[in-house]
Amino acid sequence: MLVRIIGGSGGVCPGHFATSYLIDGTLLIDAGSCANGIQIDEQAKIDNILISHPHLDHIKDLAFICDNCFGMKGKPFEVHTNKTISDSISKYLLNDVIWPDFTKLPTQQNPTIRFNEIEVEKKIKLGDYTITAIPVNHPCDAIGFIIERGNSAIVFTQDTAPTEKIWKFAKQTENVKAIFTEVSFPNSLKQVAVDSQHHTPDSMKEEILKMPPSVPIFLGHLKPNFHSKLYEEIALIGSDRVTILGTNDQTFVF
Ligand SMILES: [Zn+2]
Ligand SMILES: [Zn+2]
């Protein structure tokens, strides 16, 4: 699988793009920067979109790709997520107030975007991919994903506090080649991280012990205003498995 990190940041400012990972050009995880991070013809090639939770930095570009690609695809963007999350997006974003309801445009029968409900902890097939959504510890029934294709699997959980279940599922999955997860706040903001259900470098050091051994770990969602402190503190984790996701467009092959 070719994983392109369109945006791996925990904030939005010049040079920092919010969470959007594009797999093989067609499967998107989260819509934080897929409208301003890639060209419109690349946006139109996205078939399926997995959404981890409805916080703005993970969904905002659903609004803009619908606008950018209107009438270009001949089929809808198929969004796969749980009902709590899709209901929140419908109620608060695509609600004909904040933004047009593109699930009914140009027509309800032929929409620009369509929600597909996924049941957690059950494998679903999307083309060549097998996807399992697993609950994580973050507001609004947030989920992470295990994505399998051929002889590779990757584990994606962005926003989450310390969690258990996804690591159990990951350990039962063969051929896990990479884990993508998050560190948002420096250790001095531990209570903020606890209250907002995110990680600090210290909590990530403990979390790594629950993960499948020897698999490379990619840390994203760093808050841009704490970047230099976070780089220092993540280095102190002392694991050669850890790579920090930079802010530029990066591609990995697994
Ligand atoms: Zn969040
Ligand atoms: Zn976030």
Query: What is the whole-number distance in angstroms between the Cα of residue 220 and the centre of ligand 1?
Result: 12
Ligand with an atom nearest the CA of residue 140: 1
| pLDDT (0 to 100) of residue 248 | 75
Contact (Cβ atoms closer than 8 angstroms) between residue 106 and residue 75: no
Q: Which two tokens stand for residue 55?
A: 């916080």
| pLDDT (0 to 100) of residue 35 | 98
Q: What is the pLDDT of residues 135-187, one digit of tens each?
A: 999 999 999 999 999 999 999 999 999 999 999 999 999 999 999 999 999 99
Burial class (CB in 10 A: 0-12, 13-18, 19+), 241: middle
Query: What is the whole-number distance in angstroms between the Cα of residue 1 and the centre of ligand 2?
Result: 24
Query: What is the whole-number distance in angstroms between the Cα of residue 29 and the centre of ligand 2?
Result: 12
Separation in Å, CA 219 to CA 31, 91, 128, 180: 18, 31, 26, 6
Query: What is the whole-number distance in angstroms between the Cα of residue 151 and the centre of ligand 2?
Result: 30
**Ligand 1 ion local residues (Cβ < 5 A):** 55, 159
Q: What is the pLDDT of residues 54-81, one digit of tens each?
A: 999 999 999 999 999 999 999 999 999 9
Residue 240 has pLDDT above 80, yes or no: yes
Q: Which two tokens stand for residue 174?
A: 């063969």
Query: What is the whole-number distance in angstroms between the Cα of residue 137 and the centre of ligand 1?
Result: 10
Query: What is the whole-number distance in angstroms between the Cα of residue 57 and the centre of ligand 2?
Result: 5
pTM value is 0.97
Burial class (CB in 10 A: 0-12, 13-18, 19+), 195: exposed
Average pLDDT value for the chain:
97
Query: What is the whole-number distance in angstroms between the Cα of residue 208 and the centre of ligand 1?
Result: 20
Range 197-217 average pLDDT: 98
Residues with Cβ within 8 Å of 228's Cβ and at least 6 positions away in sequence, in order, are none
Domain 2-253: CATH architecture, name and number where available:
4-Layer Sandwich (3.60)
Residue 247 has pLDDT above 80, yes or no: no
Ligand with an atom nearest the CA of residue 160: 1
Query: What is the whole-number distance in angstroms between the Cα of residue 76 and the centre of ligand 2?
Result: 25
| pLDDT (0 to 100) of residue 123 | 97
Sketch the domain layout of the chain as residue ranges: 2-253
In the chain, the amino acid numbered 134 is: I
Q: Which two tokens stand for residue 201?
A: 């470098």
| pLDDT (0 to 100) of residue 230 | 98
Per-residue HEC secondary structure of the chain comes to: CEEEEEECECCCECCECECEEEECCCEEECCCCCCCCCCHHHHHCCCEEECCCCCHHHHHHHHHHHHHCCCCCCCCEEEEECHHHHHHHHHHCCCCCCCCCCCCCECCCCECEEEEECCCCCEEEECCEEEEEEECECCCCCEEEEEEECCEEEEECCCCECCCHHHHHHHCCCCEEEEEEECCCCHHHHHHHHHHCCCCHHHHHHHHCCCCCCCCEEEECECHHHHHHHHHHHHCCCCCCEEECCCCCEEEEC
| pLDDT (0 to 100) of residue 246 | 79
